[in-house]
Structure 1
Amino acid sequence: MAKTETPETRNWSFHIDVEQLGWLTIDRPDAPVNTLSREAIAELESLIERIEDLIAGGELAGVILLSGKESGFIAGADISEFDAMADFSVLPDALRRAHALFQRIENLKVPVVAGIHGFCLGGGLELALACHYRIAIANDKTRIGFPEVNLGIFPGFGGTGRSIRQAGPVDAMQIMLTGRMLRAGQARGMGLVDKLVRHRDMLRWEARKAVLQKRRSRRASLVKRVMAMGPLRGYVASKMRDEAGKKARPEHYPAPYALIDLFEKHGDEPGAMIAGEVDAFVPLMGSPTATNLRRVFFLSEGLKKQGVKGARFARVHVVGAGVMGGDIAAWCALRGMAVTLQDLDMERIKPALDRAKGLFKKRLKKKHEVNAAMLRLEADPAGKGVARADVVIEAVVENLEIKRKIFAGVEEKLKAGAILATNTSSIELERIAEGLKDPSRLIGLHFFNPVAQLPLVEVIRSTFNSDEQIAMGAAFALAIGKSPVVVKSAPGFLVNRVLMPYMLGAVERVERGESKELIDAAAVAFGMPMGPIELMDTVGLDVGQSVATELGHAVPEDSRFARLVAAGKLGRKSGEGFYKWEKGKAQKGEAPAHADLAGLGRELVKPLVDTTAVVVAEGVVASADLADIGVILGTGFAPFLGGPMKARADDRA
């Protein structure tokens, strides 16, 4: 007989069936997703002790680990506990305790099988890797990976060594360094998953067979493992540092480099790499980068709590098939909505459809999925889709009279309850809504270019709008996978208001003869994703000039900026602006040397930071926190600094 009874637990259930199979299920109470909190880990320790006793008594043939949540397996460690765990006096023991627990699971004398559906991320994947065999559902909801790098850390529950053991050093390090989430088939191809099933109701049956047949996961082949052996490991580590350097500087994001150092030291020995996690992980957890990235994570998650619960949007109508309108339409179709796209004629709509097909091919891969997305996107020169649409978005040029004319024609066709929105980038909604019979219906949904990459949508509130209308706008943004930030209708709103002084200040420097390459390199050295001159080219010089004028920033007629616009050299979209563009990339010369590149970048970014403080003081956004997350999502402002308001406060501290 076993020495102990099954312990009472809040987060887990455990029972043994007639075949002596132990079914261990995680289902955190009062939580939409499973996470490995300290309580959940402590309970798992007590359950594993019970399981060890049952095995010793010959009462257990195997263990099957499942999730009771619809949302998925385990989404990782409980990030809400991270600040407390950043304490150097607490963290090392907590990591060693988790290591010991996961090793006990791996050492169990009976098969342990993990059945995965939905999200299996971070600590959840580390727990699955400690099991002997892994089965996953091969559908679009399954996502497997290590997103820790996005929080300024790397896997710390043994995932470094175990993922290398299963997938080989190159594939495992790649997913840890990028935070990329894998589909089930990709994870199976790498060796992180052993078996795929089509439906969730097949997981239990397949897991049962795996236990009874005593299946064990195959480890990475010698061909893969050789890349971590001898002198090759140093070469591979050097290549990894070069790749990491193209995306992030070590002083900004130390985690990838710390992981590469750990790999270079122990990459050929999984056990040593797991043990080495503790010393490498602890300094990262309490670093300013990780602290700020956790803050950004919680601010971003907070945006998902907006909107109207249960709101449904099936049909979208977009007026304007230019770059912004066409790309908004394509994105909505990609997200599963039926979309009608209106412009003056098919000649203007066709380029948008071609771009959409390119997006669908890139994102969807499978031909039948691409074709289905194209069927959801319909050219509609006559505007017949307005009457059926749940959301109508105007995305034409920044011209007040043209916008008013469009809305006058749309308002009378609009169905009851439909959202009426403008994608204006700078004009106050009250001015656009003046001619409407019901000006309260018009809200702003301001997307950013490129639509497929930038997650922010500014939901713009005029003095006419109700809370419910704005909540519906936020709900729509969430429905298409965007992050809504509510802003007051004021010239430039949030993002363009703070971007313009920054970009125009940089343009003025170029006008005075300073190197555009140096200016862009300095901004990147500070932590921006691209420099302000390249950004102006990406936005479009005509758009930049229009927004600048709308915000009261003069663009002198004799300036290089104005001459480029007059010549039709509008940046990326025309092939030339401040830079020449080839295959979507700016062709840059060498930047001259500078003694303090990051210092120059800080100087360049100061107008953006100062203007953000003004916008907060004016109440354009409800809080400094919302300003920070809005500017990060809308401009790429250095996330490791926590946002412009956080950076400003830190500078003053």
Structure 2
Amino acid sequence: MYRWRARRCDVDRDGVRRVMESRILDALKDRTLELGPTPDTSDTYRNFKLTRDADGVAWLLFDRANASANTLSEEVLTEFDMVLTALEAQRPTGIVIRSAKPSGFIAGADINEFRGSDPVAIEAQIARAHAVVDRFEALKIPTVAVIHGFCLGGGLEIALACQMRIAIDGARFGFPEVMLGLHPGLGGTARFTHLVSPLQAMPMMLTGKTIDARKAKAIGLVDAVTEERHVRNAVKDAVFGRLKRAKPSPLIPLLNFSPVRGILASRMVAEASKQAPREHYPAPYALIDLWEKHGGDRPAMLKAEQRSFARLMVTTTAQNLIRVFFLREAMKKLAGAGDGGIKHVHVIGAGAMGGDIAAWCAHQGLRVTLADMKAEPLAGAIKRAADLYAKIVRKRTDQRDTLDRLIPDLDGEGVRNADLIIEAVPEKLDLKQKVYAGLEPRMKPDAILATNTSSIPLQDLRTSLTRPERLLGLHFFNPVSRLQLVEVVSHDGVDQEMLKRATAFVGAIDRLPLPVKSSPGFLVNRALTPYMLEAMMLLDEKVEKETIDAAAEQFGMPMGPIELADQVGLDICMAVGDMLRSKFGDLLPPTPAWLREKVNRGELGKKTGKGFYVWKDGKAEKSSAAAATARPSQEMIDRLVLPISNVCVACLREGIVDDADVVDGAMIFGTGYAPFRGGPLHYARSRGPDNVAATLRTLAAKYGDRFAPDEGWETFT
């Protein structure tokens, strides 16, 4: 239901992965990745294989043991140092480093080692890693990185230490460290800004965005882009001086000149502050400061990078963002393996949610039929899908193929062959049950019936079904293409095998499943509703809307609750609030009468152009003066955010969700809850459960029982 902006790397990772795995596996089968006829030390190393071809070129194949992707650990770098010793002794005519993993070159550093608490020890560890990379860079032998798939973070820093870089078409490059509250730490800050214009290098590091091979060639990051079948010839040209190398821009020394750096750095700080406040996200500012102070002196910047990285590593922000990384990985595992046998999805309802769910499923390679009673919603859904594919699918032929998989189905005939039917009609019990009555007799015996309801308990929805055991919930969040969470809702009579298949389906379409038991509002909407309604109470108390939004943003939310309510639609907020209040009574703030009047006047928010804010070109018009003078109190912040933690504890106690970490992950990936806080339960744990409960009791005494601490706080640790 709720729409909330969330920061994420805007790249179809799984789409690229599938293409690259297919290409590389084919190459392995036909031996085009064979490294040479005469192995030198094929069994000497645990993570590397070293061979030499007929031209005397050493091919170093990185194949990290017992891992699906290559990452850099202390063990790997120590062994890499041993390989360098061997190469220095053998003096090959050239050295080629590439990956044996179909997924890509190197995915970055091993995040499992990002757990230190002593900056001195971390700096010493980073210094040892720097020494290995510096040694590699200093080799007096032509070095070439051959890159396919993802080349990220530490992997890109290894590639930068090579004299030449050859990319396989489809490769992607980036520095995602900022997403972990860090900046590059293996020399990338210095090497990148001296190879590529700082005007292009710094934004890549500051945002974590990736670029494709063609863009990497255009900015001078790689020297050539080729197909797998031409790699050997490209390598020969590189080693023997025939490759036309990328030339660094003559403006780079000027842009790295001290006075110019100062001007550019101040502009970068201004841009960064619009997206990530310094007090919440120190990494971008540390990177800008590093470049501003040392950008003109490469050795000094390499040294200063180590110290800056070590200091960032021990910040609360970095440790919480690293925790979020592991939460995502844990939630991916909940999906299990496979796709649940789901090949054809039939979506009923071509509105904002149904249409976007259908578009996303088609993007993930599934055959999708989209049904609606009228042609106009279907046409609108197809147009939105085309606009989405134009943004996230690179090739026009692939855009066309994806659209071909999304089939408008005015007569609803797709239900007969669908493996999964997703109902996404408006939130009305009688309407949904009417839809079920018409489609259930036409479904395949093993087909799954899923509802995208955001709040109606499945126990109510199932009463009209002949086979209620195959009804379950798949609750997506808006916008579907950006928010990763899907609540997989069960009830006491659900078919467990179908539930397992549905959960696997969520993982197969690159989404994170949250297993929840059916209950009003499930987890996310139940937790967010008091946040939204408390903002209405503050408006009732004549607090400026800009001040209320500023309170949430000061805490770290991506947008305030008033702007969020406009984004969601005031009619939807009111309907969900009424439904949940009918279930939970005084545990929720009442819906103000003036909100009903606003809805009755048609002032529904963004979709009608006016709600609490006036909306133009998709943006809320805010009073800059009111925003500048907003001074929210800590009590106001607590009134907004602590009820979220309170509901999460209640859902944990009631068994709606079984795991506290999964609750935190759900709120981050489903709503954008301040990721640097680590989630609402982790925030409560960091602040102290006793402190949170005591603060709630104080608020309850002052404002009413809606703030009463849940009894789950007594056992929460």
TM-score over 0.5 for the alignment?
yes
The equivalent residue for 2:159 is 128
Residues of 1 paired with 2:354 and 2:112: CA distance? Answer: 39
Residues of 1 paired with 2:308 and 2:466: CA distance? Answer: 63
Deviations 1:331-361, CA, capped at 9 Å, x for gaps:
2222232222111110232222222222122
The equivalent residue for 2:642 is 606
> Matched residue of 2:183: which SS?
coil
The equivalent residue for 1:15 is 51
Residues of 1 paired with 2:412 and 2:650: CA distance? Answer: 41
Q: Is the 8 A contact 2:144 2:165 kept in 1?
A: yes
How far did residue 642 of structure 1 move?
A: 0.5
Residues of 1 paired with 2:393 and 2:638: CA distance? Answer: 39
Residues of 2 paired with 1:557 and 1:528: CA distance? Answer: 23
Q: Is the 8 A contact 1:327 1:451 kept in 2?
A: yes
Q: Is the 8 A contact 2:537 2:592 kept in 1?
A: no
Deviations 1:125-161, CA, capped at 9 Å, x for gaps:
100110111111112xx22111101111111000111
How far did residue 593 of structure 1 move?
A: 2.5
The answer to whether structure 1 residue 239 and structure 2 residue 270 are counterparts is: no
Structure 2 residue corresponding to 1:87, chosen from 118, 126, 137 = 118
The equivalent residue for 1:460 is 489
**Aligned pairs for 1:453-532 within 5 A:** 453-532=482-561
How far did residue 88 of structure 1 move?
A: 2.4
Residues of 1 paired with 2:396 and 2:109: CA distance? Answer: 37
The equivalent residue for 1:283 is 311
More off after superposition, 282-291 vs 326-335: 326-335
The equivalent residue for 2:604 is 570
**Bigger RCO (CA 8 Å, 6+ sep):** 2
Residues of 2 paired with 1:213 and 1:288: CA distance? Answer: 48
**Aligned pairs for 1:172-321 within 5 A:** 172-199=201-228, 201-213=229-241, 215=243, 217-311=245-339, 312-321=341-350
How far did residue 173 of structure 1 move?
A: 0.7
Residues of 2 paired with 1:568 and 1:19: CA distance? Answer: 75
Residues of 2 paired with 1:400 and 1:623: CA distance? Answer: 30
Q: 1:599 to 1:364 in 2, by over 3 A?
A: farther
Q: 1:214 to 1:91 in 2, by over 3 A?
A: farther
Q: 1:599 to 1:198 in 2, by over 3 A?
A: farther
Q: 1:482 to 1:557 in 2, by over 3 A?
A: closer
Q: 1:367 to 1:482 in 2, by over 3 A?
A: same
User: 5+ unaligned residues in a row in structure 2: which ranges?
Assistant: 1-39, 690-717
Q: Is the 8 A contact 2:43 2:49 kept in 1?
A: no
The equivalent residue for 1:431 is 460
More off after superposition, 276-285 vs 328-337: 328-337
How far did residue 268 of structure 1 move?
A: 2.5
How far did residue 6 of structure 1 move?
A: 8.8
The equivalent residue for 1:74 is 106
Q: Is the 8 A contact 1:521 1:597 kept in 2?
A: no
Structure 1 residue corresponding to 2:67, chosen from 11, 21, 31 = 31
How far did residue 54 of structure 1 move?
A: 1.5
Residues of 1 paired with 2:163 and 2:628: CA distance? Answer: 55
Residues of 1 paired with 2:417 and 2:230: CA distance? Answer: 40
The equivalent residue for 1:145 is 174
Q: 1:225 to 1:369 in 2, by over 3 A?
A: farther
Residues of 2 paired with 1:454 and 1:98: CA distance? Answer: 36
Amino acid at match of 2:154: G
How far did residue 5 of structure 1 move?
A: 8.2
Amino acid at match of 1:209: D
RMSD of equivalent CA atoms: 2.0
Q: Is the 8 A contact 1:169 1:225 kept in 2?
A: no
The equivalent residue for 1:345 is 374
The equivalent residue for 1:534 is 563
The answer to whether structure 1 residue 626 and structure 2 residue 662 are counterparts is: yes
More off after superposition, 39-48 vs 350-359: 350-359
Residues of 2 paired with 1:476 and 1:598: CA distance? Answer: 43
Residues of 1 paired with 2:350 and 2:41: CA distance? Answer: 67
> Matched residue of 1:302: which SS?
helix
Residues of 1 paired with 2:270 and 2:49: CA distance? Answer: 46
Q: 1:365 to 1:81 in 2, by over 3 A?
A: closer
The equivalent residue for 1:371 is 400
Residues of 2 paired with 1:148 and 1:449: CA distance? Answer: 27
Deviations 1:462-495, CA, capped at 9 Å, x for gaps:
1122443222222222222211111111100010
> Matched residue of 2:658: which SS?
coil
Q: Is the 8 A contact 1:169 1:224 kept in 2?
A: yes
The equivalent residue for 1:117 is 148
Amino acid at match of 1:243: E
Structure 1 residue corresponding to 2:429, chosen from 400, 409, 412 = 400
Amino acid at match of 2:250: L
Q: Is the 8 A contact 1:361 1:370 kept in 2?
A: yes
Deviations 1:501-539, CA, capped at 9 Å, x for gaps:
010000111122211111011111110000001111111
The equivalent residue for 1:412 is 441
Amino acid at match of 1:128: A
The answer to whether structure 1 residue 587 and structure 2 residue 608 are counterparts is: no
The equivalent residue for 1:451 is 480
How far did residue 27 of structure 1 move?
A: 0.5
Amino acid at match of 1:66: R
Residues of 2 paired with 1:224 and 1:119: CA distance? Answer: 26
> Matched residue of 1:305: which SS?
helix
More off after superposition, 619-628 vs 410-419: 410-419
Q: 1:646 to 1:247 in 2, by over 3 A?
A: same
Deviations 1:362-409, CA, capped at 9 Å, x for gaps:
222544333333322222111011112222111111101111111122
The equivalent residue for 1:617 is 653
Residues of 2 paired with 1:216 and 1:366: CA distance? Answer: 27
Residues of 1 paired with 2:319 and 2:289: CA distance? Answer: 22
Q: Is the 8 A contact 1:303 1:484 kept in 2?
A: yes
Q: Is the 8 A contact 1:529 1:638 kept in 2?
A: yes
Q: Indicate the percent of aligned positions where both proteins have the same amino acid.
A: 46
Residues of 1 paired with 2:487 and 2:611: CA distance? Answer: 27
The equivalent residue for 1:162 is 191
Residues of 2 paired with 1:558 and 1:456: CA distance? Answer: 30
Question: TM-score normalised to the size of structure 1?
Answer: 0.94
Deviations 1:405-447, CA, capped at 9 Å, x for gaps:
1112222222243332100000111211111111111111101
Amino acid at match of 1:68: A
Residues of 1 paired with 2:444 and 2:53: CA distance? Answer: 56
Question: TM-score normalised to the size of structure 2?
Answer: 0.86
Residues of 1 paired with 2:627 and 2:607: CA distance? Answer: 24
Structure 2 residue corresponding to 1:65, chosen from 87, 91, 97 = 97
> Matched residue of 2:368: which SS?
strand
Amino acid at match of 1:563: E
Q: Is the 8 A contact 2:120 2:310 kept in 1?
A: no
The equivalent residue for 2:32 is none
How far did residue 648 of structure 1 move?
A: 0.3
Residues of 2 paired with 1:112 and 1:558: CA distance? Answer: 69
